Amino acid sequence: MGVPTCPIVTVAFEQECKLNAAHRGMPTLRLVFSSHPVWGKSPDQLWAYMNGPDPATGKPMMQEVINALTQPLTDADKRTGKITPSVGPEKFDADTPKNLQEFYRDNGYTDYLPIIIPTEEAVDEMLKGTSHHPDEIVGKLAAAGGTNALEAWTFTVRHVAISAVMAGARPEYMPVILTIAASGYISLISSTNDLAYGALINGPIRSKLNMNSGIGALGPFAQANATIGRAWTLVSKNLGNAGIPGQTYMGDMGNTLNYMNLIMAENEEASPWEPFHVQHGFKKEDNVVSMFAGNSISAGQVGKGSGIGGTPRFDRQYVDLFYDFTGFFGALLLCEPICAQSLKEQGYDTKEKLIDYFYKNTTQTAKDYRDRNWSYLFEYGQALRGVEPFATWYKLPDDAVIPKFPSRERISIVVIGGSTDPVSQVANFSHGRSFSIDKWA
């Protein structure tokens, strides 16, 4: 403390920067803004930014930096104060359904689709889905991610129930929704990347809730899948201060997965392998949510060779699909049951054997790895600190061949689908952590 400091931020983040400073009790923090973007600019262009005007104020940028570091603080500079966000009205006067829909929409409480109005009666009914007290603290969420951020909001079981009602969920879905909310994973993170999140449900609760893990498992064909995913988005907005474009959300284009997120229920009955949660230390009878983060999902036309030519080598064809992924996120194979059975017959009697094949055969040169923007941004610093495998990868000759993914743990396999066509899907997603649903029953 006491060391003169001057934050320099690109002008694209002016509003977000000022709001975050105010939230931290520094509403008049001295800030200097540069032109945007800085990515992809040459040294000469960056030098011109520094010697040019601050685009937010029109004043010479470097003179502002010097003034911020050398001029004594004024009374205005010393002013403190913290913005306390409104939690909204406790009660509503009698009104029309149309006006209530507009109130929630215009105040940013929705995903801009019609909601179920969370009346007291509806929320009380939703609370019957869990044995936990309505005022029990569930956890914290922050638009920047993580639960320890200064701007993290704390919320209760009742708060989660309100978002669950708005999403159209049923009371029996509450344990799953509460588990996701308590995980700390926010589905609308403030990153400039167009990130997306996913949740995989395993265990007997899949059948109890009539979740779809078969035909059309990733489509709009089951109330549980759809409303659990939507509730996660509403929880993120209303209980984590997320999803305000230009303020708490900076994704350049956004991501269509942010509407309902990637909600998956593993087709354990059709799988020739252990369920995902059993792989991660749980019992088969446990009910578990596993959290994933990434950015994209695509269908893989991997059924070639399945006609007169004989049984296809799905393992090789999946590797082809993984080559387009960034190693920063992992590879999530949503394996169709016919494909899974064929892979078992080809010698992959466990998921671990198939993951080992993918890890060893999805490769890149050290030069290609180092030339990628995400590698420099997110892993070069780790390499300098000696973190492996990045420290070794940054020392190798350009033509050295290295794995696409830094560890086998970045590759996950889940069996999903209805056995109508041997066409799987692949997602550029990494598994984070898995959580018990049963504790929230």
* pLDDT tens track for 340-355: 999 999 999 999 999 9
Q: How far apart are CA 256 and CA 220, in angstroms?
A: 14
> 434, 437, 436, 440: which is closest to 185 by C-alpha?
434
**What's the confidence (pLDDT) of residue 26?**
81
* pLDDT tens track for 277-298: 999 999 999 999 999 999 999 8
Q: Give Dmax over CA atoms of the chain in angstroms.
A: 82
Give the residue, 433 or 329, on which the prediction is more confident.
433
Q: Which whole number is the average pLDDT over 106-128?
A: 95
On the CB side of 278, how many CA atoms lie within 13 Å of its CA? 15
* pLDDT tens track for 24-79: 778 888 899 999 988 778 888 889 898 899 988 999 999 999 998 898 888 877 78
Q: How far apart are CA 138 and CA 178, in angstroms?
A: 7
**What's the confidence (pLDDT) of residue 309?**
54
Structure tokens at 202: 């395993």
Could you tell me where the beta strands, DSSP code E, fall in 280-330? Answer: 288-299
Domain ranges of the chain: 8-70, 103-362+404-440
* pLDDT tens track for 373-383: 888 888 999 99
Q: Which residues make Cβ contacts (< 8 Å) with residue 8, sequence separation at least 6?
A: 32, 33, 34, 65
Q: How far apart are CA 407 and CA 7, in angstroms?
A: 36
Q: Which whole number is the average pLDDT over 107-135?
A: 96
Q: Which whole number is the average pLDDT over 145-161?
A: 82
**What's the confidence (pLDDT) of residue 201?**
98
How much is the mean pLDDT over the chain? 89
Is the pLDDT at 306 greater than 60, yes or no?
Answer: no
DSSP string for residues in 160-211:
HHHHHHHHT--GGGHHHHHHHHHTT--SS---SS--EEEEEEESTHHHHTT-
CA 110, 223, 283 angle in degrees (round to 5)?
110
**pLDDT band (50, 70, 90) for residue 405:** very high
Q: Which residues make Cβ contacts (< 8 Å) with residue 324, sequence separation at least 6?
A: none
